[in-house]
Structure 1
């Protein structure tokens, strides 16, 4: 009798627990998706699109809902089931995809008054003849904490805010979206900008480890080893990889001694100087003689526009924010970080480092405002939902740890270069297209070159990485000639890798 009673109570407890769990699952928000019809004219041809924007439930590996994941999806109306699909995201590390969306990829784009400040609204939102929607369907992803994305259930922000956490959540979204759309057996691409390139290297391996091989990865404004952008103690690589971009900036602003035949020829000379003279000098440290130091400082002046005396005072090492402030010190201007063609008012002429980024100031308002106008009016997103372009909370904290980057509980690097290397060596058909702006001081082109040259790839496999260059900054699409080149480069890449 006692055993039967215990069995009854146990079964009752299980039923109550199951019912409670089911009730809790039913109470979790399902997400909202808003649909609309869009179109874009590319090369004189109209492409009709089925568009949807909003959120869907993101599930963990055990199908437990963990987040509302925000996205915008453009699918060609009545398209072929084998039409390629591109998953795109920005960086930050925590910004939504609004930059790429209204800047270059979507059916509409906002016109920027490059290379200076765009006047306040009304902004010009036009048909985007440079969109990739003639080549592929497009999914723009907003990581949790941006756009309409947020954690649900037992999940917390920190479950998504970190290098590994982010790779996992984006990878989960892509896998589940492919299942939702029945697109597993179709050419698949990742497209990331800025931190999104570091993310895409990790996601490509994450998906590959789950049996989902992508055809290609497109990187705009790439960085694969974040620590080299930080000018950490004893890290001379940071100074070396930034110098060619300092030189390109000085070349653009007519601050160099000899501009040569072209920007490309000038930068080839700068690369040789950096590798053969500057690197050796920094490696010597205080063993460098005064004669050697003076001779090197003079060459640094000739290439960068900063005075020999300044380079000597800086011990031959100038961080980027110091360069922004110093190049136009005599005229009271400061130089852009996202695009060094831009200049703005120097708020403090005595400051050692720049206080603001003129390019960022020039880009943000037109792109963010134009996108929100398009999102709520054209894409029909619900006005009861607040769209977050980027996380600005003072409590925001990103976990920079990544598998292989931490040894003895010490952060040795911030890099997904090993992920990219492993993915390529295990899948010799994986291709990368890396698009670099010469005037991008946020993610410098020579830094990517340095990373690629240290992957340990054999000559044949290294051919799977294509490097393209633009006379623009971080947002290549702000520069009209570059946006056309970008369109052509991506089209050619998709054509070559989707067959």
Structure 2
């Protein structure tokens, strides 16, 4: 268990300012002052730069603060270094009432570059919007007209083991790798940030993607669960997974087969594996029909198991073939139960192609077409080169970071070492959704924004709907949004524009 104390920022820093005339950019290198206990301390590297940008048709001035925050134990000894990039708008008269949004990705084991360089940040990398491979450098890195910086200050956080963040001293990364451990360290970072920047009384928002939505729920509980309460105004869940029973295929658990079916229907529709009559319905109407089949006839058929009579079995199989685009012969072989990993290999097998997991609009070519599962995810290798190049180019050139240790985009070590116990309780399936329900009951202003991609096989939208239908969540304060794209819906231009519009509206519930 990590012990964090209420250590104020070592505010007595000596600040060396150096001006570099690069257009409107100035760079300030900040170094902590020497102190009697300097030998026991780690000096954080922090770089401050000034910028201007046109965002949402408005010219704004902002400050970027990129660097380390040192978390300390009760004796003032360093525990970990958390790397973050903060963007503070400087052309506003009163920042006290301006929202601040803390942003992170998932994995677990991912740095925050995806939401940073794809949606929220002032610069974004452009990848092909038609679900084709991003190829090799150079990649377009442009001013992000869709950035949310006009509405809220932004803080992008890389948890320990991701980005430049790391454990310090005798501490190990594994001390921070877990549902509860991670939430504690990020909560302490946030507390420190609010003190250092004088923003304790500002509206506060969390934005997480994928496992980052799990983190957001655990983090809200950590922040609001005690008397030192950091109340949250809103939580943005992008490609949400809160209850992992909906994503864990194993004998006896039928939840994933139900939750993934409408994503299969969307995918079959996109790749023209449905009838002409169903195609004429349009994507959303076809998805709605698949929802009704999944939650009613299909769910009941799975529950009955081998008690299902032959006529009902055949009727179910026919409808399942309709919505999945798979043959009834194949559905017989898998006993009416198609996993996502099998589906992404099987759907276009007759074309010697696979479809993506993160975004099933993407198509890939495997070593051969006879295998059980994809060699790799074409929607993963279809964008990772661009995002990795973009974050490295940006932090070194635009922000002036001098660190040379590796920047961990996605750490398998963190992912494999993750402790899935919640608050010390071992759970076969992690479910943090009830934490959001409790947070709403104890904070009347807490609202939840949920963004879903129709073509997302990592965190399927219907599984999210099923999660929010239960777990004590007040859906009057939940807004669900859908996009004709995948897990990272912002790689598709129309979805990016709509998502940015929807998020901006979320900051203004009164309108």
TM-score, normalised by the number of residues in structure 2: 0.89
Pairing of 1:34-433 with structure 2 (within 5 A): 34-60=47-73, 64-79=77-92, 80-81=94-95, 82-114=97-129, 115-209=131-225, 210-257=228-275, 258-393=278-413, 396-403=416-423, 406=426, 411-433=427-449
Tell which deviates more after alignment, 53-62 or 369-378. Answer: 53-62
Verify the 8 A CA contact 2:41 2:77 in the aligned structure 1. Answer: no
Q: In 1, distance between residues paired with 2:103 and 2:508?
A: 18
Displacement, 1:384?
2.6
| More displaced 10-residue stretch of structure 1: 388-397 or 443-452 | 388-397
**Residues 69 and 395 (structure 1 numbering): CA distance in 2 closer, same or farther, change over 3 Å?**
closer
User: Would the alpha carbon gap of residues 404 and 386 (structure 1) be closer, same or farther in structure 2, given more than 3 Å must change?
Assistant: closer
User: How large is the Cα RMSD of the aligned pairs?
Assistant: 1.8
**Greater Cα offset, 227-236 or 239-248:** 227-236
Please give the per-residue CA displacement for 1:339-394, whole angstroms capped at 9, x wherever unaligned.
00110112231111122110001010011111111111001111434311111349
Name the SS of the counterpart of 2:481 in structure 1: strand
- Aligned partners of 1:194 and 1:222 also within 8 Å: yes
CA distance in 2, matches of 1:223, 1:392: 19
Q: How far did residue 234 of structure 1 move?
A: 1.1
Which string of whole-angstrom CA distances, capped at 9 and with x for unpartnered residues, describes residues 402-443 of structure 1?
A: 13853xxxx332111121111111112210000000011110
Residues in 1 aligned to 2:406 and 2:329: alpha-carbon distance in whole angstroms: 51
* Deviating more after overlay: 94-103 vs 226-235: 226-235
Q: Deviations over 1:196-246 (max 9, x none)?
A: 001101111211123111100001101101232121231100111001101
What is the DSSP-based 3-state SS (H/G/I as helix, E as strand, rest coil) of the residue aligned with 1:58?
strand
Contact kept in structure 2, 1:294 and 1:312, CA below 8 Å: no
Local SS of the residue matching 1:463: helix
Does the 8 Å contact 2:42/2:78 carry over to 1?
Answer: no
State the distance in 2 between where 1:197 and 1:333 align. Answer: 31
Segment drifting more, 202-211 vs 91-100 = 202-211
1:475 Cα deviation from its structure 2 partner: 0.5
Q: Give the whole-Å Cα distance in 2 for the aligned partners of 1:489 and 1:395.
A: 31
Counterpart of 1:453?
469
Do 1:405 and 1:415's aligned partners in 2 also have CA atoms closer than 8 Å?
no
1: distance between equivalents of 2:414 and 2:175? 18
Q: What displacement does 1:149 show?
A: 0.6
Counterpart secondary structure, 2:48: strand
Q: Is the 8 A contact 1:69 1:148 kept in 2?
A: yes
CA distance in 1, matches of 2:463, 2:502: 21
Displacement after TM superposition at 1:131 (Å) = 0.2
TM-score by length of 1: 0.91
SS in 1 for 2:402: coil
Separation in structure 1 between the aligned mates of residue 503 and residue 149 of structure 2, nearest angstrom: 11
Instruction: Note if contact 1:344-1:358 (Cα within 8 Å) is conserved in structure 2.
Output: yes
Instruction: Determine which structure has more spread, i.e. the larger CA radius of gyration.
Output: 1
- Structure 1: unaligned runs, 5 residues or longer: 1-21
Matched residue, 1:480? 493
Question: What is the Cα deviation at residue 61 of structure 1?
Answer: 6.3
Q: Is the 8 A contact 2:48 2:64 kept in 1?
A: yes
Q: Partner of 1:251: helix, strand, or coil?
A: helix
Displacement, 1:118?
Answer: 1.7
Equivalent residue of 2:412, what SS? coil
| Separation (CA, whole Å) in 2 of partners of 1:448 and 1:341 | 20
Q: Secondary structure at the match of 1:52?
A: strand
Residues 218, 432 of structure 1: 8 Å contact kept = yes
| Whole-angstrom CA distance in 1 between matches of 2:251 and 2:158 | 34
- Once residues 334 and 150 of structure 1 are traced to their aligned partners in structure 2, the CA distance between those partners, rounded to angstroms, is 37
* Count of aligned pairs between the two proteins: 470
SS of 1:348's equivalent? coil
Q: 2:509 matched to which residue of 1? A: 496
- Distance across 1 between alignment mates of 2:460 and 2:83: 30
Do 2:177 and 2:414's aligned partners in 1 also have CA atoms closer than 8 Å? no
Residues 226 and 96 of structure 1, relative CA distance in 2, 3 Å threshold: same
Q: Say whether residues 1:28 and 2:41 are aligned partners.
A: yes
**Distance in 1 separating the partners of 2:506 and 2:89:** 20
Q: Secondary structure at the match of 1:148?
A: coil
Paired residues of 2:104 and 2:207 also in contact (CA < 8 A): yes
Q: Secondary structure at the match of 1:496?
A: coil
